[in-house]
């Protein structure tokens, strides 16, 4: 595509030639995921997670379509229809557990994918739009997952819907009107369930569309790599197929094995017992929590406990929670360091791991009841979360002394195997590692 040495698609069969001049779909796939996409040859296993996320979405769509054939989006029978799937539908229990566990795995994979991008500076020029499209996918996933959780119409579904739509009631003047509009009533009811089902069915296909844009914008500059150094020539790349298809296939095997272990041996480990109680609008469970993948954001929401600057605490929490994700859209302009990879940014690398720890502990706080010491802890960590992106990152990127970069990807690979950096011997590296084709 954008690399002149990319392998050109050559149709070999008559049918291939026929199609190529009419609908060049094989040519498109060849260029996107086939031998026609030159990929840096030094990608590590963290670069598997993009493909894994795609597979996770496909699993969700397939199992979801199946569940949709048996699910009934009506408050009178929604919970019963889920139990009907679990008990009477052929293999229904498997479909439902795969869908429920699959949502958790999808988020897990996407979080690794996001943090990989953060570590190796994949959001930096020229990949800003790629990064932002990824964030759009993340936001759509959150909306989809939330609405899917409501469909079960258990206690957590109902009260989750109440609480999350309640966020919008924090908006001054029009908040209550907006909440009522979202719910189609004054509390979650049939109208809510029906619209959530409709949107829950729609959004995955929107996500699929944005993924196509995401991959399109990936192919313009090509993949980033652990050194963060640009591809200099053919010696730096290998064709995506068979090299990375083989590696992704292996990664997928590992992923599916872990997935199967949870689906078949601990399918309810990531869920809440309360959601096996049918929704009851007159009784709230003692301890309302969202699913684990929302916990860090839930902790940020609850961290704002005092009115400040005439803005009530509730509104602060809502603003901060949305801001915590939206600020990621500005990251390419907040981090101005010319060095992409944290492998060559010693200070920022430490700060990255501190940030990972902060997010994990925020997650723990979000899963706990709103009591001390968790509230105070989440307040300090929330402060760090915002400081990390809005204050520390811009400053560090300006003043940090970075390590010397390898002159090329090939050089870095040679250095790794030779155990001694080869310095400026770019010519040697270039001659050494021609991709075998």
Ranges within 67-106 binding other proteins (CB under 8 A) = 69-70, 80, 83-84, 86-95, 97
Q: C-alpha distances in angstroms, 183 versus 146, 230, 316? A: 14, 49, 23
* Least Å from the CB of residue 142 to other proteins: 20
* Least Å from the CB of residue 238 to other proteins: 6
Residue 41 binding other proteins, by CB under 8 A: yes
Work out which of 320, 325, 347, 405 binds other proteins, going by CB under 8 A: 320
Q: Near other proteins by CB under 8 A, which window of 14-22, 125-133, 242-250, 344-352?
A: 242-250
Q: Near other proteins by CB under 8 A, which window of 176-184, 217-225, 265-273, 343-351?
A: 265-273
Cβ pair 328, 117 in contact under 8 A: no
* Cα separation, 233 vs 410, whole angstroms: 9
| Tokens linked to 301 | 């929401």
State which residue, 195 or 314, has the beta carbon closest to other proteins: 314
* Least Å from the CB of residue 233 to other proteins: 15
Distance spanning both ends of the chain, measured CA to CA: 17
* Least Å from the CB of residue 180 to other proteins: 27
Residue 264 binding other proteins, by CB under 8 A: yes
Sign of the Cα torsion 98, 99, 101, 106 reads positive
Q: What is the CA radius of gyration of the chain?
A: 24
Work out which of 252, 288, 351, 364 binds other proteins, going by CB under 8 A: 252
Residue 323 binding other proteins, by CB under 8 A: yes
Q: Near other proteins by CB under 8 A, which window of 5-13, 108-116, 223-231, 266-274?
A: 266-274
Residue 260 binding other proteins, by CB under 8 A: yes
Q: Near other proteins by CB under 8 A, which window of 11-19, 61-69, 204-212, 355-363?
A: 61-69
Query: Which residues make beta-bridge pairs with 238?
Result: 39
Residue 418 binding other proteins, by CB under 8 A: yes
Query: Which residues make beta-bridge pairs with 154?
Result: 278
Work out which of 187, 333, 354, 357 binds other proteins, going by CB under 8 A: 333
Query: Which residues make beta-bridge pairs with 237?
Result: 40
Q: Near other proteins by CB under 8 A, which window of 15-23, 187-195, 304-312, 346-354?
A: 304-312
Work out which of 330, 338, 350, 360 binds other proteins, going by CB under 8 A: 330
Work out which of 242, 338, 346, 427 binds other proteins, going by CB under 8 A: 242
Stretch 355-394 residues interacting with other proteins (CB under 8 A): 371-372, 376, 379-380, 382-383, 386-387, 389-391, 394
Listed in sequence order, the residues at least 6 apart from 81 whose beta carbon sits closer than 8 Å to its beta carbon are: 70, 71, 72
Sign of the Cα torsion 189, 316, 321, 289 reads negative
* Least Å from the CB of residue 363 to other proteins: 17
State which residue, 81 or 165, has the beta carbon closest to other proteins: 81
* Least Å from the CB of residue 21 to other proteins: 30
Per this entry, what is the length of the chain?
A: 437
Residue 326 binding other proteins, by CB under 8 A: no
Stretch 109-128 residues interacting with other proteins (CB under 8 A): none
**Catalytic residue positions?**
219, 223, 247-248, 291
Listed in sequence order, the residues at least 6 apart from 392 whose beta carbon sits closer than 8 Å to its beta carbon are: 351
* Least Å from the CB of residue 170 to other proteins: 15
Residue 172 binding other proteins, by CB under 8 A: no
- Total residues in contact with other proteins, by rule CB under 8 A: 82
* Least Å from the CB of residue 379 to other proteins: 4
Residue 173 binding other proteins, by CB under 8 A: no
Q: Near other proteins by CB under 8 A, which window of 99-107, 108-116, 195-203, 245-253?
A: 245-253
């Amino acid at each position: 595509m954008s690399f002149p040495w990319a392998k050109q698609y050559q149709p070999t069969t008559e049918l291939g030639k026929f199609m190529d001049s009419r609908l060049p779909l094989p040519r498109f796939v060849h260029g996107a995921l086939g031998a026609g996409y030159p990929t840096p040859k030094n990608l590590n296993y963290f670069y598997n997670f993009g493909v894994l996320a795609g597979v996770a979405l496909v699993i969700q769509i397939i199992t979801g379509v199946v569940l949709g054939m048996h699910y009934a989006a009506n408050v009178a029978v929604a919970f019963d229809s889920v139990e009907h799937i679990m008990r009477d539908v052929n293999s229904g229990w498997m479909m439902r557990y795969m869908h429920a566990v699959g949502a958790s795995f999808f988020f897990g994979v996407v979080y690794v994918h996001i943090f990989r991008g953060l570590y190796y500076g994949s959001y930096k020029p020229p990949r800003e739009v790629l990064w932002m499209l990824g964030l759009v996918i993340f936001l759509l996933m959150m909306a989809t997952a939330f609405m899917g959780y409501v469909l079960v119409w258990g206690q957590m579904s109902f009260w989750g819907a109440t609480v999350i739509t309640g966020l919008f009631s924090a908006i001054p003047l029009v908040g209550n009107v907006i909440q009522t509009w979202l719910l189609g009533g004054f509390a979650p009811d049939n109208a809510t369930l029906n619209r959530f089902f409709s949107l829950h069915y729609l959004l995955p296909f929107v996500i699929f569309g944005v993924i196509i844009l995401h991959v399109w914008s990936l192919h313009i500059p090509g993949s980033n790599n652990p050194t963060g150094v640009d591809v200099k020539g053919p010696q730096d790349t290998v064709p995506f197929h068979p090299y990375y298809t083989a590696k992704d296939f292996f990664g997928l095997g590992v992923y599916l094995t872990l997935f199967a272990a949870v689906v078949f041996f601990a399918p309810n480990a990531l869920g809440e017992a309360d959601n096996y109680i049918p929704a009851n609008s007159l009784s709230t469970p003692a301890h309302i929590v969202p699913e684990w993948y929302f916990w860090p954001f839930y902790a940020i929401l609850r961290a704002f406990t005092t009115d400040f600057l005439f803005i009530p605490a509730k509104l602060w929490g809502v603003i901060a929670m949305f801001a915590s994700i939206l600020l990621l859209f500005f990251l390419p302009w907040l981090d101005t360091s010319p060095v992409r990879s944290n492998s060559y940014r010693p200070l920022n690398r430490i700060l990255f791991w501190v940030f990972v720890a902060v997010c994990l502990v925020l997650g723990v706080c979000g899963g706990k009841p709103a009591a001390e010491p968790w509230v105070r802890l989440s307040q300090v960590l929330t402060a760090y979360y915002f400081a990390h992106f809005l204050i520390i990152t811009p400053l560090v990127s300006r003043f940090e002394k970075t390590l010397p970069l390898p002159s090329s990807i090939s050089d870095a690979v040679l250095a790794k195997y030779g155990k001694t950096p080869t310095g400026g011997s770019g010519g040697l590296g270039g001659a050494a590692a021609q991709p075998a084709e």
